[in-house]
Amino acid sequence: MSGSESMVGSEPAPLLDVRDLGVAFDSEGGAVHAVNGVSYTLREGETLGIVGESGSGKSVHVLAMLGLIPRPPGRITGGQVLFEGRDLLAFPERELRKVRGGRIGFVFQDPMSSLNPGMTVAAQIAEPLRIHLGLDGRAARLRARELLDLVRIPDAAARLDQYPHEFSGGQRQRVMIAMGLSCRPKLLIADEATTALDVTVQAEIIALVQDLKREIGMAIIWITHDLGVVAGIADTVQVMYAGRILERGPVDDIFADPRSAYTLGLLRSLPDLSRGRAGRKRLHQIEGAPPDMRDPPPGDPFAARNVYATPRCRLEPPPLAQASSAAPGHLVAAWYDLPALLAAERAAPGAVP
């Protein structure tokens, strides 16, 4: 599976190269295989949108690569995560700490639990600057103020000495982004960074990240369950389910020509914001629920919910491979051929899936 898309030899080495990563959590009922053989690459400056629901492994796999899963009960069952050519999984914690918040910035969903309530905002932003960049107190404070300006916190100078609870939810998330960006990372990882925010605040944060990306030129991994957000900011989209990548490809191709039945189901289940009541149809729904990861199905994890599943899907997990007659780099893990099935459906008169 790994290296399936590193077909062009002349391309520069990727910024991030995840190879066959596996993560499990030991529990009383047996091991939960949260991430199973995940492989992908990220170029410098590329924005990768990772879509998935709870239990898909989308968050756990980035926490694992940053050394942030509690061990035990978590453990890495295999693989490598090459960042700038070096395997993060082989780093001692001391080394990893230098990368985390330095070359790799990250922003998580809940700023209130990620920020220290007993420390002023200035102190929290300054901390990585002192650790990673070796700035002294005065220089770090100056830079902290610039960062608050950068993330458009009004009246930044006056707010440096305030505590997190004195900021609104959107402002706290901006502070988190300021911290994530403080050391000019090569890679920013945002995990459901706007999910808890109102849609208007989300729009501001996304606009801000887009601006900063242009200024700093970093790569981004944007993890979300919202296909709308991904559509606007991602170069590449990766759909995860039950600890595996089911589909991956250029953003336009994923939306226009989905090859995984799960991706198609997600796209179809979204109501259209511009459709009036007259044209209303019953919402497309994906039946069933995600599998229990303590006892994952042997084959394609989506097979039990997939009306297009073949007998082989239930027995053998399909590899992630180039989809036939699709855009280069458009990969799918499926034994069935979705475009052919959809065409047959359209051809059959009166047939409704």
Where on the chain is the footprint of another protein (CB under 8 A)? Answer: 53-54, 169, 198-203, 206-207, 210, 225-229, 231-233, 251-252, 255, 262, 265-267, 269-278, 280, 282-287, 289-290, 305
Rounded distance between C-alpha atoms, residue 170 and residue 158, angstroms:
18
Residue among 8 and 278 whose Cβ is closer to another protein: 278
For residue 274, the one-letter residue type is S
**Do the Cβ atoms of 49 and 251 come closer than 8 Å?**
yes
CB of residue 55 to another protein, shortest distance in Å:
8
Nearer to another protein, 47 or 114 (CB): 47
Indicate the residue among 282 and 346 with the shorter CB distance to another protein.
282
Instruction: Output 87 or 149, the one with its CB closest to another protein.
Output: 149
Q: Cis ω on the peptide bond leading into residue 73 (within 30° of 0)?
A: yes
CB of 252 to another protein, least distance (A): 5
CB of 165 to another protein, least distance (A): 14
The first and second tokens of residue 280, run together, are 């209303």
Smallest distance from another protein to CB 29, Å: 12
**Could you write out the DSSP letters of every residue in 293-346?**
TTS--SS-TTGGG-TT--HHHHHSPPP-EEPTTS-TT-EE--SS-HHHHHHHHH
- Name the DSSP letter for residue 100: B
Nearer residue to another protein within complex by CB, 124 or 202: 202
> Would you say how long the chain is, in residues?
353
Return the number of the residue (131 or 286) whose C-beta is nearest another protein.
286
Dist. CA 216–CA 296, nearest whole Å: 41
Q: Least distance from C-beta 85 to another protein, angstroms? A: 31
Cα torsion 225, 231, 232, 238: sign: positive
CA distance 213 to 47: 9
Q: How many CA atoms lie within 13 A of 319 on its CB side?
A: 8
The distance of closest approach from Cβ of residue 208 to another protein in the complex, given in angstroms and rounded to an integer, is: 10
Nearer to another protein, 302 or 336 (CB): 302
Alpha-carbon span 285 to 269, nearest angstrom: 6
Q: How far is the CB of 210 from another protein (least distance, A)?
A: 7
Residue 237 beta carbon to another protein: minimum distance, rounded to whole angstroms? 9
Q: Which of 296, 298, 306, 267 has its CA nearest to residue 283?
A: 267
Nearer to another protein, 10 or 200 (CB): 200
DSSP-H helix ranges across the chain: 58-65, 93-99, 111-114, 121-133, 137-150, 156-159, 169-181, 199-216, 227-233, 251-256, 261-269, 311-315, 338-347
Q: At its nearest, how many Å lie between another protein and the CB of residue 19?
A: 28
Pick 127 or 226: Cβ nearer another protein: 226
| Distances in whole angstroms, Cα of residue 132 to Cα of each of 26, 42, 98, 150 | 34, 23, 6, 19
